Amino acid sequence: MKTYGNMLLPSANPDGLCGSGVKPMRALFGRKFSNLRELREATEGALEVRQKGQPYKVTKEVVLQDEEFRAFASDFFADQDWISPESGGVTPQGEVRCIRVINAKTGTKVLVNSEGYEFPRYTALELT
């Protein structure tokens, strides 16, 4: 695994194909970013060096009103009642298990992998 800042970048499977031959959704997950601004900056840097990210699977979707989303996005270290320690991890196929958090007003999407915690330990922007 390579890193760019706090971004975790896979070094294997460069074609992005799963065993089924179908391209999975991919995202640039980073570890312990404190807020959305830091995540955006790291994502921009990783994209500049053409990183493709990791395959992921959304296991839950949470839609937050703008004010709630801004509070969430300003402090990724805060525990969230909709995140459980079991919310993250990796599937047997190597996909990051995550929660999709959506700002109802702007449509901004943050992917959260709790990796055993009740806060967004690993985060990524969903760029669609």
If we measure between CA atoms, which residue out of 102, 87, 79, 81 comes closest to residue 56? 87
Query: Average pLDDT, stretch 10-16?
Result: 36
Q: Where are the domains of the chain?
A: 2-10+23-125
pLDDT of 118 higher than 80 = yes
Alpha-carbon span 82 to 21, nearest angstrom: 33
Which percentage of the chain shows pLDDT scores above 70?
81
At residue 14 the predicted structure's pLDDT band, cuts being 50, 70 and 90, is: very low
In single-letter form, the type of residue at position 101 comes to: V
At 77-97, the pLDDT tens digits run: 999 999 998 889 999 999 999
Q: What is the pLDDT of residues 36-68, one digit of tens each?
A: 999 999 999 888 888 888 999 999 999 999 999
DSSP classification of residue 25? P
Question: Of the given ranges (24-28, 30-34, 87-91), which has the lowest mean pLDDT?
Answer: 24-28
